[in-house]
Amino acid sequence: MKDKIIRGITKDKNVRFFAVDSTETVRYASRIHNLSVTNTIIMGRMLSAALMMGTELKSEKDLITLKIECDGPCGGALVTANKKGEVKGFINNPEIEIPFDEQTGKFGVKTAIGKGLLIVIKDLGMKNPYVGKVDMKYGTIARDLTSYFVSSEQIPSSVGLGVLIEPDGTIRQSGGFIIQLMPDAPEDVIFRIEENLSQFPHLTDVMDMWLSIEEIIEQFILKDLLPEVKLEIPAKYKCNCSYKKFEIGIKLLEKKELEEAIKKNEALTVHCHFCNKDYEFGKDKIEKILEQM
């Protein structure tokens, strides 16, 4: 099944929701970045969150970026998405691993992150992007994002993010949901959501029962609240890097540096952090760039 994002609102217009099945997207990201198990979970949660939040962007040129700045061994991470369901990202120390904790039955996500900030950047095509940030008091990403929505956007929210993964690194499921109360939502609606969430098991465990994200929203998370899906779009990992884009960066180098590379017959190599590709600019390409300068 292909990954997808859904967005909608309950029939009474009191609750809006987002949900995503990001399984294939996370598998692809884990493979191209050679992520450890712990970092696959971190990256997967961030990819899911960004995909859902991206559907709220107004223009196809707008971007939303989630960034973790931290002192933990993962070294921080960055993910960016657009409104078309396209996402990309990287983690600074992709292969670092935190041993599985047999006592708690959890992977060491909090240990890998350590102390840090969760930063949300919305580039809406204006002079200055919107930047919001919260301390990562929880280190789970989902609870930290819930805190961000309340403190920075004043939206009561509940965020669930999960990556179901075997100790050998096999990714079984990945997904997420965001539930947000609309202004003046009545107490009985709030109570129903709290009851539903308190009885809801882990998201990816339910996904592993082959329930779709629509069924999970309708039968569990927003049970009895009549959710209606208003948008459904495919989700995928996509990096838009190219020789042409990196050529802009090469042109920022001094002519002397480019001439020296030609003289020594040395290629200039640019690495894309988002897709792990190397772009090599040999003598012929450098000469063409010099002609344009």
User: Domain spans of the chain?
Assistant: 4-237, 243-292
Starting at the edge strand found earlier in the chain, the sheet holding 227-234 runs 157-165, 171-181, 15-21, 4-10, 227-234
Pairing label, strands 86-91, 236-237: parallel
Confidence label for 106 from pLDDT (cuts 50, 70 and 90): confident
Q: At which residue do the structure tokens 């840090």 appear?
A: 116
pLDDT at position 93, please? Answer: 97
Fold designation for 243-292: CBS domain Like (3.90.1280)
pLDDT at position 212, please? Answer: 95
Distance (Å, whole) CA 162 – CA 178: 12
For domain 4-237, say whether CATH 3.55.30.10 is its number. Answer: yes
**Higher-scoring residue by pLDDT: 101, 82:** 82
pLDDT at position 148, please? Answer: 97
The answer on pLDDT for 291 being more than 90 is no
Which one of 118-127, 138-147, 275-284 scores highest in mean pLDDT? 138-147
**Higher-scoring residue by pLDDT: 94, 248:** 94
The answer on pLDDT for 30 being more than 70 is yes
CA-based diameter of the chain, in Å? Answer: 75
For 64-88, how does the pLDDT look when each residue is reduced to its tens digit (9 = 90+)? Answer: 999 999 999 999 999 999 999 999 9
For 165-215, how does the pLDDT look when each residue is reduced to its tens digit (9 = 90+)? Answer: 877 778 999 999 999 999 999 999 999 999 999 999 899 999 999 999 999
Distance (Å, whole) CA 233 – CA 227: 17
Cα–Cα nearest to 26, from 16, 39, 7, 40:
40
At residue 162, the 3 state secondary structure works out as strand
Query: What is the CB neighbour count within 10 angstroms for residue 116?
Result: 19
Q: Which two tokens stand for residue 47?
A: 């990819």
Give me the phi and psi of 56, to 5 degrees please.
-85, -10
Confidence label for 241 from pLDDT (cuts 50, 70 and 90): very high
Each as own residue / partner, the long-range contacts of residues 58-61 (CB below 8 Å, 24 or more positions apart, any chain) are 58/83, 58/124, 59/83, 59/124, 59/125, 60/84, 61/125
